[in-house]
Amino acid sequence: MEVTRTNFKDSLSTVYSAIEEADFLAIDGEFSGISDGPNVSALTNGLDTPEERYMKLKKHSMDFLLFQFGLCTFTYDQAESKYVIKTFNFYIFPKPFNRTSPDTKFICQSSSIDFLASQGFDFNKVFRHGIPYLNQEEEVQLREQYEERRSQSNGSGNPSYISPNSNKGPGSIPEEHREYIGRVDNVDLLSYRFPKGLHVETLETEKKERYIQISKVDDEERKRRERQKQEREQEELNDAVGFSRVIHAISKSGKLVVGHNMLLDVMHTIHQFYCVLPEYLLYCFLRLLDTKLMATTQPFKELINITSLAELQKQLKESPFKSPKVVTAEGFPSYDTAQEQLHEAGYDAFITGLCFISMANYLGTAFYTVCMKRYNATLTSRVFARLFLMRIIDIPYLNISGPDLQPKRDHVLYVTFPKEWKTSDLYQLFSAFGNIQVSWIDDTSAFVSLSQTDQVQIAMNTSRYAESYRIQTYAEYVQGRQQVRESQGHSTQSWDEDGWVKPHYTSPSTVGAGPTGYSYGHNRYTPFTL
Amino acid sequence: MEVTRTNFKDSLSTVYSAIEEADFLAIDGEFSGISDGPNVSALTNGLDTPEERYMKLKKHSMDFLLFQFGLCTFTYDQAESKYVIKTFNFYIFPKPFNRTSPDTKFICQSSSIDFLASQGFDFNKVFRHGIPYLNQEEEVQLREQYEERRSQSNGSGNPSYISPNSNKGPGSIPEEHREYIGRVDNVDLLSYRFPKGLHVETLETEKKERYIQISKVDDEERKRRERQKQEREQEELNDAVGFSRVIHAISKSGKLVVGHNMLLDVMHTIHQFYCVLPEYLLYCFLRLLDTKLMATTQPFKELINITSLAELQKQLKESPFKSPKVVTAEGFPSYDTAQEQLHEAGYDAFITGLCFISMANYLGTAFYTVCMKRYNATLTSRVFARLFLMRIIDIPYLNISGPDLQPKRDHVLYVTFPKEWKTSDLYQLFSAFGNIQVSWIDDTSAFVSLSQTDQVQIAMNTSRYAESYRIQTYAEYVQGRQQVRESQGHSTQSWDEDGWVKPHYTSPSTVGAGPTGYSYGHNRYTPFTL
pLDDT digits (tens, 9 = 90+) for B409-436: 778 888 888 888 887 888 888 877 777 8
Minimal-distance CA residue of chain B relative to A40: B171
Please state, for a pLDDT cut of 70, what percent of chain A lies above it: 69
pLDDT at B85 over 60: yes
Tell me what the mean pLDDT of segment B97-123 comes to.
90
Name chain B contacts of A443, Cβ cutoff 8 Å: 168-169
Please state, for a pLDDT cut of 70, what percent of chain B lies above it: 68
Q: Is A46 on the interface with B (CB under 8 A)?
A: yes
Cβ contact (<8 Å) for A95 and B104? no
Q: Give the range with max mean pLDDT: A202-206, A344-348, A373-377, A407-411.
A: A344-348
Q: Is B197 left (phi over 0), alpha (psi -120 to 50) or beta?
A: left
The size of the A-B interface in CB pairs under 8 A is 166
Chain A: give the shortest CA distance to residue B224, in Å.
Answer: 35
Q: Is A185 on the interface with B (CB under 8 A)?
A: yes
pLDDT range class, residue B12, cuts 50, 70, 90? very high
Q: Which residues contact B251 (CB under 8 A, 6 or more apart)?
A: B285, B286
Identify the weakest region by mean pLDDT among A127-136, B19-28, B35-44, B291-300: B35-44
Q: Is B189 on the interface with A (CB under 8 A)?
A: no
**Contact call for residues A435 and A451 (beta carbons, < 8 A):** yes
pLDDT range class, residue B48, cuts 50, 70, 90? low
Touching A: B residues 72-131, CB under 8 Å = 93-96, 103-111, 113-114, 116-118, 122-124, 126-128
- Own/partner pairs, A308-311, CB within 8 angstroms, 24+ separation: A309/A260, A309/A261, A309/A342, A309/A348, A309/A351, A309/A352, A309/A355, A310/A340, A310/A342, A310/A351
pLDDT at A329 over 60: yes
**Contact call for residues B57 and B267 (beta carbons, < 8 A):** yes
pLDDT range class, residue B114, cuts 50, 70, 90? very high
How do residues A148-205 score in pLDDT, each as one tens digit?
Answer: 877 776 444 443 333 333 333 333 445 555 555 444 433 335 334 455 666 677 777 7
**Contact call for residues A70 and A349 (beta carbons, < 8 A):** yes
- Residue A283: the pLDDT is 55
Alpha helices by DSSP H, listed for B296-438, are: 309-315, 345-363, 365-372, 377-384, 423-429
Name chain B contacts of A181, Cβ cutoff 8 Å: 423
CA distance A312 to B133: 38
What is the residue type of B524?
R
Identify the weakest region by mean pLDDT among B58-62, B182-186, B243-247: B182-186
How do residues B22-36 score in pLDDT, each as one tens digit?
Answer: 999 999 999 999 875
Cβ contact (<8 Å) for B105 and A105? no
Identify the weakest region by mean pLDDT among A119-128, A364-373, A474-483, B301-310: A364-373
Residue A235's closest CA among A331, A351, A146, A307?
Answer: A146
pLDDT at B74 over 90: yes
Tell me what the mean pLDDT of segment B451-463 comes to.
79
How do residues A472-487 score in pLDDT, each as one tens digit?
Answer: 888 888 788 777 766 7
CA distance A279 to A504: 9
Across the interface, which of A36, A45, A171 has its CB nearest the CB of B38? Answer: A171
Name chain A contacts of B441, Cβ cutoff 8 Å: 170
Name chain A contacts of B185, Cβ cutoff 8 Å: 422-424
Chain A: give the shortest CA distance to residue B142, in Å.
Answer: 18
Please state, for a pLDDT cut of 90, what percent of chain A lies above it: 29
**Contact call for residues A350 and A87 (beta carbons, < 8 A):** yes
Alpha helices by DSSP H, listed for A342-416, are: 345-363, 365-372, 377-384
Identify the weakest region by mean pLDDT among A237-246, B22-31, B179-188, B297-306: B179-188
Q: Give the range with max mean pLDDT: A48-62, A83-97, A262-276, B475-489.
A: A83-97
- Residue A503: the pLDDT is 27
Across the interface, which of A95, A170, A427 has its CB nearest the CB of B110? Answer: A95
- Residue B213: the pLDDT is 77
pLDDT at B469 over 90: no
CA distance A219 to B513: 71
How do residues A243-290 score in pLDDT, each as one tens digit?
Answer: 999 999 998 898 889 999 888 898 899 999 988 887 766 556 667 888
- Residue B182: the pLDDT is 46
Minimal-distance CA residue of chain B relative to A169: B443
pLDDT range class, residue A491, cuts 50, 70, 90? very low
pLDDT at A80 over 90: yes
pLDDT range class, residue B514, cuts 50, 70, 90? very low
How do residues B142-169 score in pLDDT, each as one tens digit?
Answer: 888 888 877 776 444 443 333 333 333 3
- Residue B373: the pLDDT is 55
CA distance B271 to B263: 12
Tell me what the mean pLDDT of segment B464-468 comes to.
79
Query: ∠ CA(B507), CA(B513), CA(B519), 5° rounding?
Result: 95
Identify the weakest region by mean pLDDT among A31-40, A258-267, A353-362, B352-361: A31-40
Across the interface, which of B36, B38, B167 has its CB nearest the CB of A422? Answer: B167
Across the interface, which of A114, A179, A437 has its CB nearest the CB of B96? Answer: A114
Across the interface, which of B43, B45, B111 has its CB nearest the CB of A103? Answer: B111
Mean pLDDT of chain B, nearest integer = 75
- A77 phi and psi angles, rounded to 5 deg: -100, 95
Interface test with chain B among A113, A122, A134, A429, by most B beta carbons within 10 Å: A113
How do residues B360-411 score in pLDDT, each as one tens digit?
Answer: 888 776 666 656 554 434 333 433 445 555 545 455 555 555 555 556 677 8
Cβ contact (<8 Å) for A42 and B108? no
In the three-class reduction of DSSP (H, G, I as helix; E, B as strand; rest coil), residue B61 is classed as coil
pLDDT at A26 over 90: yes
Q: Is B390 on the interface with A (CB under 8 A)?
A: no
- Residue A519: the pLDDT is 27
- Residue B35: the pLDDT is 76
Tell me what the mean pLDDT of segment B189-203 comes to.
59
Identify the weakest region by mean pLDDT among A265-269, B68-72, B302-306, B333-337: B333-337
Touching B: A residues 305-364, CB under 8 Å = none
Cβ contact (<8 Å) for A110 and B104? yes
Cβ contact (<8 Å) for B110 and A110? no
How do residues A382-393 score in pLDDT, each as one tens digit?
Answer: 334 455 655 454
**Contact call for residues A208 and A197 (beta carbons, < 8 A):** no
- Residue A290: the pLDDT is 85
Q: Is A372 on the interface with B (CB under 8 A)?
A: no
Touching A: B residues 436-455, CB under 8 Å = 437-438, 440-443
Name chain A contacts of B66, Cβ cutoff 8 Å: none
Cβ contact (<8 Å) for A103 and B96? no
Cβ contact (<8 Å) for B178 and A437? no
- Residue B73: the pLDDT is 97
Strand partners, A50: none
Tell me what the mean pLDDT of segment B441-468 comes to.
80
Question: Does ipTM surpass 0.90 in this model?
Answer: no
